[in-house]
Structure 1
Amino acid sequence: MKNTFLAFAVLLLASTFSSCVILSPKKYKALLGTKDSLYTAFSEGQIKIENLEDEVKRLKKDTTLIAEDLRDLQSRFNDVNANYSKLKNNSSSEITKLSGDLAAREQRLKEVEEVLRKRDEATNQLKEKLQQALLGFTKSGLTVDIKNGKVYVSLMDKLLFPSGSIVIDENGKKALAQLAKVLEEQPEINIAVEGHTDNQKVNNLGQIKDNWDLSVLRSTSVVRYLTETEKVESVRMTATGKGEFQPLGLNTGADGRSKNRRIEIVLSPKLDELYNLIK
């Protein structure tokens, strides 16, 4: 390109000289100035062309890099889209499964609540029947209460036993006979007989060594009477002795000790249906 420009300049000068044999100094200087201007313009143009060529190379390189990045992003997008579709399908399945599980749990909860409602209803009815049947013994220290879904029939020791004895007296037998009549009408009721004492040491009671013995033996006396005399099913019965360790009152006075010496007959409905529901 540079040689072409020089040839053009020489040709221009030659043509000028051929048309005029003798040039004036002024015209000659003008022609030299024109040649210099053309050469300068050509040099600047050449630099611009080289810069443009470099820019084209850079743009081509950038375009290649952008294309690679675009392909990489497209590949990532496809992966993300595929994972999203899979997750969406799995989520729909999980939601359907969870909805089914929740519905089943809600149904089971309703069934449990219904069983508990029936239990509470039966417990209240049992309490009312016992209060009516044992009404004549309330002045002798008999109470009927409901605690934790169970009916507690509490009989003070003076209602059942002579002092320091494990043999049920006649008044106690009458109370237990009335109790047995109600229990016969309630075959779905489990019966636990608990013996309780005060904290006074046992003295001169023969085979009875301490309050543990006294509470257990009184409990078993009640169980034997209910099963052997009143024919309550033995399989429904449990006898336990709590000794002095579950007092109702303070053992510092006669009234508190009297409350603590008692037999508690704990009546609880069989909960087989409930246990089956919560397995």
Structure 2
Amino acid sequence: MRKLMIVSASALVLLSSCVSQKKYAALEAKQKETQDMLNTATVKLNACLAQSETMKEQITDLRNANNNLINTQGNLTTLSAKGAENLEKSLEQMKEKDLQIKAFRDAMNRKDSVTLALVTSLKGAIGNLNDEDIEINVEKGVVYVSISDKLLFNSGRWDVTNRAKEVLGKVATVVKNKPDIEFMVEGHTDSQPISTSVIEDNWDLSVKRATSVVRILQEEFGVPPERMVAAGRSYYVPLASNDTAEGRARNRRTRIVVLPKLDQFYKMIEEGMPKN
């Protein structure tokens, strides 16, 4: 009996030992599986953490970029507003400039119309006089009436001939009908020297001839003296060479220059400008 009990106990111990080995192996396998899962989870966690840091950096970069875009948009908006304001000012300036140009052109057209009317009146009053004796032309918007020396004066003299007075009377009629006209009478000589008891030189002769014409216009034809200027140019503004008799004859002349009245011209421009 005792022997049987010993055998039974031994068998029980052996059976118990076999079960523990199987459970241990199973637990060990389970532990290894769990460890593998833990390792895998750890790797994934680390990857997620790294990805999270990267995403945080990207989010920071995106926020900075967004802020920069907002600032840029604000700057562009400011620049656009200033650009629009400057453009508006430029357009206003261009519009004003266009109006000034138009006013200037209108004034020039009116001035040209006045000049043309004056030339037409002078030519109509004087009639078909020989072109060698009197010329009426326009240069740079200024009217010139050039009367030859042989028509106005005797050689070396400054007193006006009767034939010349007839021409001056016709000029005076036109001038008196245009009270807004002022003019200058210029005396011109050739380069031949002259010196007498009453004439010092060509300067003196050219001035005396100019003042003689002015006196005739004032005293005999009633042209207001305040509208006239007498000037001598001697021989320093020739039309031709003084080396020939023909050239000297052209240079001896008296010229009536209609003076442009700039104040009236500016007034015409101002009248054409828009009123504020």
TM range (shorter): 0.7 to 0.9
CA distance in 2, matches of 1:15, 1:240: 150
Equivalent residue number for residue 63 of structure 2: 71
Q: Given the superposition, is the C-alpha separation of residues 65 and 243 from structure 1 closer, same or farther in structure 2, using an over 3 Å criterion?
A: farther
Cα 1:52/1:221, change in 2 over 3 Å: farther
- Equivalent in the alignment of 1:121: 113
Tell me how far apart the structure 2 counterparts of residues 270 and 197 of structure 1 sit (CA, whole Å).
28
Q: 229, 240, 244: which one pairs with 1:238?
A: 229
TM-score by length of 2: 0.75
Contact kept? 2:145, 2:257, Cα under 8 Å: yes
**Which residue matches 1:176?**
168
* In structure 1, C-alpha distance between the alignment counterparts of 2:204 and 2:49, rounded to whole Å: 107
Q: What letter corresponds to residue 190 of structure 2 in structure 1?
A: D
The partner residue of 1:93 within 81, 85, 89 is 85
Taking the TM superposition and a 5 Å limit, the aligned residue runs for 1:144-223 are 144-200=136-192, 202-223=193-214
User: In the superposition, relative to structure 1, how do residues 91 and 139 fare at CA in structure 2: closer, same or farther (>3 Å)?
Assistant: closer
AA at the equivalent of 1:127: V
Seq. identity, %:
30
- Which of the residues 252, 266, 273 maps onto 1:261? 252
Gaps of 5+ in 2: 1-16
Alpha carbons of 1:57 and 1:125: their partners in 2 closer, same or farther (altered >3 Å)?
Answer: same
Q: Is the 8 A contact 1:190 1:267 kept in 2?
A: yes
Aligned length: 248
| Mean Cα deviation higher: 240-249 or 99-108 | 99-108
Q: CA deviation at 1:182?
A: 0.8
Distance 1:149 1:122 in 2: 10
**Change in 2 beyond 3 A, CA 1:217/1:16:** farther
Matched, 1:18 2:38: no
User: What is the DSSP-based 3-state SS (H/G/I as helix, E as strand, rest coil) of the residue aligned with 2:56?
Assistant: helix
1:255, CA displacement in angstroms?
0.8
CA distance in 2, matches of 1:218, 1:145: 22
Unpaired runs of at least 5, structure 1: 1-13, 20-30
**Mapped partners of 2:201, 2:44: distance in 1:** 114
